[in-house]
Amino acid sequence: MSEKTADKSRNPIGWGYHEDRLTEAERTPLIQAMQAFLGGEDWQPRAAPAVDDIPLAEARIATPKSLADIVASDHETRLLHAVGRSFRDLAGLRSGAEIAAPDAVARPQNQHQLVDVLAWASDAGYAIVPFGGGSSVVGGVNPEGLERWPGVVTVDMAGLDRVHEIDTRDRVVHAQGGIFGPALDAALKPEGLAVRHYPQSYFHSTLGGWVVTRGAGHFSTLHAKIEDRVQALSVLLPDGRNVTTRALPASSVGIDPNRLWCGSEGALGIVTDVRLRVVSDPAHKDGVSVAFDDFESALEATRAIVQAGIWPAQMRVLDPFEHLISTAMSGRMGEGALMILGFEGERPVDHQKAAALEVAQAHGGTPRPRSDESSGDWRDTFFRQPYLRDALMDYAVIADTFETAVPWSRVPAFYHAVRDATQQAVENICGNGGVTCRVTHAYPDGVALYFSFYGRGDHDALVEQWHQIKTAASDAVMAGGGTISHHHAMGRDHKPWAKQELPDAFRGAIRGAKAEVDPNGQMNPGLWFAD
């Protein structure tokens, strides 16, 4: 990883670190290429507003003296915690509309302070929004319904970033929820262990955030989802009760308690500590690309590989348009679909690689020399992508992604239907534009598809235009039998579709559970089971 995290500051109006915004040398060819593709005149940038110029709802909370050191309500701090990092969030900051911000932001530095903060906010009847890295792209940290609460307090967990224990026998790390990806890996490295969980937000998200959003990471097969890695966890409830589950490899004693908090998105208390299963820092790595004439053949090969139990660590598959785009900047102009395979492990991976290639070739694939996409460079590109989105936003380009998962039996019809519906929406809204797709994760019974779309909007209507495209895409995902999110979580943006996806009685059951652990409904209110 090329990024350094020290001495960098969170960009208050964009993805990631302020210091990592695109350089002019990166920006110019990107904009030129996009302009060439999308056409149109008047490609004048409009800069994001200055932080101080973004209007926030007025803060209503008086901080108690005892918490003065860790609770702030200045404009910039509130702005930094008002939204996540979705296209909607960042376009919203540029829109001139008043932003619903927390009235105060608490930054506890230890469990004791966290208990104090929750006691204060809970007793005062405030809404409480847990905040990890704030990288949500689904509205997971955005205060909602301010008028229903006398105050909203966002609890920034970044100060609770201690590693309690690394168990090299169990290959488990026990750490506080506020630790970020790189710090967790830095602690594991001397022990020969690694997380090997790289969401695109790896540098900007926390262990606790991963767990409560059921994120997926590095691995395309086996243990891709964080919930499969959670051995145990601790949760702090608003009334100060601590819930700690027993550290176990598996159990059959009733319902699994860990799974109630995986995906709870802060609404059932704050996940303060996690025992996470990690792996040995891989001694062996290899990668290869395989070209296919079309996406359908590549999908069939993907299915065959994962159903055969080969389990490549990484298996990304680019549809022809995504392949073209991903190579266009380097002038190579890739044709057809591309499968990018990565293998890693404690033991040699040659046999696994040979097996995957054999299956891929049997499905019409042609091995290619290891390309950028199958090397470490691909990962840098991966982490870099959200910064490109921000640069394009200056030019009113609506560039966003959405992702889903669906059983194999619905593929490729699902792919075509969702792509076409999104393309149509982009064209309706923007005149023209593009939609690309890649496989990010694969399972024996289905596949996760990750779509990107872009078109040029109007500087003054980005949020509404984005919303129309997002709605068309999400409706197609639902109609096709997919999930509204495979690894970005539900948040507030996905609520309409989550309510379709999840049975009513289940939503009722979770409301019932919430009433027991958060009787006043103060924890991150407004999610899918709220009504």
Q: Which of residues 158-217 bind a second copy (CB under 8 A)?
A: 167, 169-172, 213-216
Applying the rule CB under 8 A, the residues between 245 and 304 that interact with a second copy are 245-257, 259-260, 262-265, 268, 277, 279-280, 303
Q: How far is the CB of 402 from a second copy (least distance, A)?
A: 12
Residue with tokens 């998200």: 205
User: Order of strands across the sheet with 397-407?
Assistant: 366-368, 284-292, 337-345, 314-318, 433-443, 446-456, 397-407
Q: How far is the CB of 290 from a second copy (least distance, A)?
A: 18
Which of 23, 32, 409, 471: binder of a second copy (CB under 8 A)? 409
Kind of pairing between the strands at 314-318 and 433-443: antiparallel
Q: Residue 278: name the closest of 448, 373, 163, 157 by CA.
A: 163
Q: Per rule CB under 8 A, is residue 479 in the interface with a second copy?
A: no
Nearer to a second copy, 112 or 169 (CB): 169
Cis link prior to 369 (omega < 30° from 0)?
Answer: no
Distance, in Å, from the CA atom of 339 to the CA atom of 326, rounded to the nearest integer, reads 13
Nearer to a second copy, 25 or 253 (CB): 253
Q: Per rule CB under 8 A, is residue 389 in the interface with a second copy?
A: no
Nearer to a second copy, 70 or 137 (CB): 137
Q: Binding marks (x or -) toward a second copy, 333..372, rule CB under 8 A?
A: ------------xxx---x---x-----------------
Please say whether the beta carbons of 330 and 337 come within 8 A: no
Q: How far is the CB of 119 from a second copy (least distance, A)?
A: 16
Please say whether the beta carbons of 129 and 72 come within 8 A: no
Kindly give, in sequence order, each residue whose CB lies less than 8 Å from that of residue 377, ignoring residues fewer than 6 positions away.
none
What length does the chain have?
531
Q: How far is the CB of 200 from a second copy (least distance, A)?
A: 14
Nearer to a second copy, 85 or 94 (CB): 85
Q: Per rule CB under 8 A, is residue 99 in the interface with a second copy?
A: no
Applying the rule CB under 8 A, the residues between 430 and 449 that interact with a second copy are 441, 443-448
Q: Which two tokens stand for residue 273?
A: 């500590």
Residue with tokens 């679909």: 337
Q: Which two tokens stand for residue 59?
A: 């803060």
Q: Is 398 helix (H, G, I), strand (E, B) or coil?
A: strand
Which of 5, 35, 109, 307: binder of a second copy (CB under 8 A)? 307
Q: Per rule CB under 8 A, is residue 531 in the interface with a second copy?
A: no
Applying the rule CB under 8 A, the residues between 27 and 86 that interact with a second copy are none
Applying the rule CB under 8 A, the residues between 3 and 22 that interact with a second copy are none
Amino acid at 58: E
Q: How far is the CB of 268 from a second copy (least distance, A)?
A: 7
